[in-house]
Amino acid sequence: MNLTLKIWRQKGPQEKGQMVEYKVTDISEHMSFLEMMDVLNESLVEKNEIPIAFDHDCREGICGMCSLHINGEPHGPDRGITTCQLHMRTFKDGDTIYIEPWRAKAFPVIKDLIVDRMAFERIQQAGGYISVNTSGNTQDANAIPIPKLDADLSMDAAACIGCGACVASCKNSSAMLFVSAKVSQFALLPQGKIEAADRVRNMVKQMDDEGFGNCTNTGACEVECPKGISLENIARMNREYLKASII
Ligand code: SF4
Ligand code: FES
């Protein structure tokens, strides 16, 4: 395939960015999207040009690092996958593909297609954990019976990889789907109940302090989430927050 790529280039956080056009030729339909980006970068290096900076790590849909906005959709046109799992067979010979970074005030651009997602880390630090006594008297993990449905729902919420596509897809740049997944995975388990009120209060406060917008129930986040995180988690977080506000 021969393709035209229109890619956001930005030298640094304070620099003005712009879309720059590139051509790539002889792209195999079996390549992943990131391999296609590697081909482009190799050709730029050969021409002594600066390669395009983009985030990636596992390239297996696990780490949440890859984060491209492709033709107006986080992680591209396919559903239930990350950018690193997107393949070039999704596109046609002669296509023009627009590639941009996540767009959100709370995710400032560092360079080209890389944004700063430390806001998510700070939200996690505010409450995305449980305190466990590791003094030697630790209770056996299987000693507390947990209903199968609760365990399944908690595991579903824990599938969130923190990629930020929910924020990038939302017209309000809301982080509610991410935060609600992190709250829910603990709220559903007995081990998470002890710190539940502080957790939801602190994580929601940090989310607001970071400048993420409010949720207006458009549901774009659920559609674009590569891990199928359900809007039900937002409803659960709202219930948890209400409970924490009146105790
Ligand atoms: S909720 Fe989905 S889209 Fe949002 S950070 Fe988690 S995995 Fe990514
Ligand atoms: S590079 Fe790890 S999820 Fe895409």
Residue 130, both tokens? 């449980």
Q: Within the chain, which residue ranges are assigned CATH 3.10.20.30?
A: 3-111
Nearest Cα to Cα of residue 172 among 207, 139, 141: 207
Q: Which CATH code fits 3-111?
A: 3.10.20.30
The CATH fold of domain 118-132+144-246: Fumarate Reductase Iron-sulfur Protein; Chain B, domain 2 (1.10.1060)
pLDDT given at position 137: 76
Pocket test for ligand 2, best of 32, 82, 117, 225 (most atoms within 8 A of CB): 82
Pocket lining: 170 vs ligand 1, CB cutoff 6 Å: no
Instruction: Name the residue of 54, 59, 86 to mutate for ligand 2: max ligand atoms within 8 A of Cβ.
Output: 59
The secondary structure of residue 23, as a DSSP letter, is E
Q: Average model confidence (pLDDT) for the chain?
A: 96
| Distance from the alpha carbon of residue 108 to the mean position of ligand 1, in angstroms | 18
Cα-to-centroid distance, 224 and ligand 1 (Å): 8
Count of residues in the chain: 247
Closest ligand to 225 CA?
Answer: 1
* Intervals of CATH 1.10.1060.10 along the chain: 118-132+144-246
Q: Which atom of ligand 2 is nearest to the CA of 226?
A: 3
Residue range 175-188: average pLDDT? 98
**Nearest residue by C-alpha to atom 5 in ligand 1:** 162
Could you give the dihedral angle defined by the CA atoms of residues 126, 63, 52 and 78, in that order, rounded to the nearest 10 degrees? -110
Q: Do 29 and 1 form a contact (C-beta atoms < 8 A)?
A: yes
The residues lining ligand 2, judged by C-beta closer than 6 Å to any ligand atom, are 56-59, 61-66, 82-84
Give the pLDDT mean for 98-117: 98
Q: Residue 213: CB within 6 Å of ligand 1?
A: no
* Whether residue 174 has pLDDT greater than 90: yes
Buried b (16+ CB within 10 A) or exposed e, 55-93: bbeebebebbbbbbbbbebbbbebeebbbbbbbbebbee
pLDDT band at 141 (very low <50, low <70, confident <90, very high): confident
- Determine the distance separating the centroid of ligand 2 and the alpha carbon of 56, expressed in angstroms: 5
Residues of the chain above pLDDT 70, percent: 100
Ligand nearest to the CA of 220: 1
